[in-house]
Amino acid sequence: MTALKVGIVLPGREAVVDEGPYPANLASIAALAEESGFDSIWAGESPLARSRMNPLLALAAASSATERVQLGTAVLMPLRAPVHLAHELACLDRISGGRVIAGIGSGFASPATEREFANYGLDFATRFGRMRETVEICQALWAARGEPVSYQGKHYRLQDAALLPLPHQPQGPPLWIAHSGPQMLRRAGRGFDGWMPTSTTPENYGAGWEQVTAAREEAGRPAEA
């Protein structure tokens, strides 16, 4: 049986970020979390819809004050160019000594999130395809270990792109997907390293995990994948 691990999400609500000393003390908060025995530290993303710290910058600060805990995004949305995201995550993985987990999501359907995508110059309706292609490009760039990569997708193209520096982890940070729809649960089992449920009731978690596990088995992936 896998040992239970417990993580903590860094504060990320408006009053804490905007009005208090939290941002300046982020590194010491991360150090306290590690000292208190937590196994991981997580940061969410919302550049416009609500006031949150940039998750990759927050985790870089957390990395500077910790040595053991894993550092995860919960979650990144497909707002960045894939090459830019692959480079940011590779650099953070190097800085932290290979402690990064990249949690990816498409963004909840809400007016605020739609405006967020629009202000990035992105069509909200394309978010699922952009997320899929972003993941494929990140995986390809990390696995190539500095060799040129070309990619032709509906939303993104690469031509002889060689990414450096390399992430600390040989295949790059593990990629976890946050979703609850049947198609995305199948995708989680077939190609992702972890699943982040968007509903944590025991019934929904159990049903979703069964679908993820079935998809993993159908794909011939081992249980530890």
Q: Report yes or no on 85 lying in a domain.
A: yes
Give the burial class of 110: count Cβ atoms within 10 A of its Cβ; 0-12 exposed, 13-18 middle, 19 or more buried: exposed
Question: Picking from 17-21, 51-55, 72-76, which range would have the lowest pLDDT averaged per residue?
Answer: 17-21
- CA-wise closest residue to 99 among 195, 176, 163, 172: 172
The total domain count for the chain is 1
> Does residue 84 lie in a domain region?
yes
**Residue 199 located in a structural domain:** no
- Residue-range definition of the domain harbouring residue 115: 7-178
| Nearest Cα to Cα of residue 176 among 188, 163, 160 | 188
| pLDDT higher than 80, residue 2 | no
pTM higher than 0.85: yes
Residue 136 confidence (pLDDT) above 90: yes
Tell me, what's the pLDDT at 108? 86
- pLDDT for 12 beyond 80: no
Looking up residue 136, the CATH number of its domain turns out to be 3.20.20.30
Report if residue 189 sits inside a domain. Answer: no
Task: Supply the pLDDT for residue 119.
Answer: 96
**Residue at 46 is within a domain:** yes
Least confident of 89-98, 104-113, 123-132: 104-113
Assigned domain for 207 exists: no
What distance, in Å, lies between the first and last C-alpha atoms of the chain?
15
Can you list the alpha helix ranges (DSSP code H) found in the chain? 14-19, 26-35, 55-64, 82-96, 111-119, 127-143, 182-191, 202-218
Percent of the chain past pLDDT 90, that is, above it, reads: 83
Q: What is the pLDDT of residue 207?
A: 94
What 8-state DSSP symbol labels residue 37?
T
Which of 5-14, 58-67, 197-206 is modeled with the greatest confidence? 58-67
Tens of pLDDT, residue by residue over 68-88, are: 999 999 999 999 999 999 999
160 conformational bin, left if phi > 0, alpha if psi -120 to 50, beta if neither: left
Is residue 187 one of the residues assigned to a domain? no
**pLDDT, tens only, 193-222:** 999 998 779 999 999 999 999 999 999 999
Arithmetic mean of pLDDT, 57-62: 96
Q: Is the pLDDT of residue 14 over 80?
A: no
Would residue 157 count as lying in a domain? yes
pLDDT above 70: residue 1? no
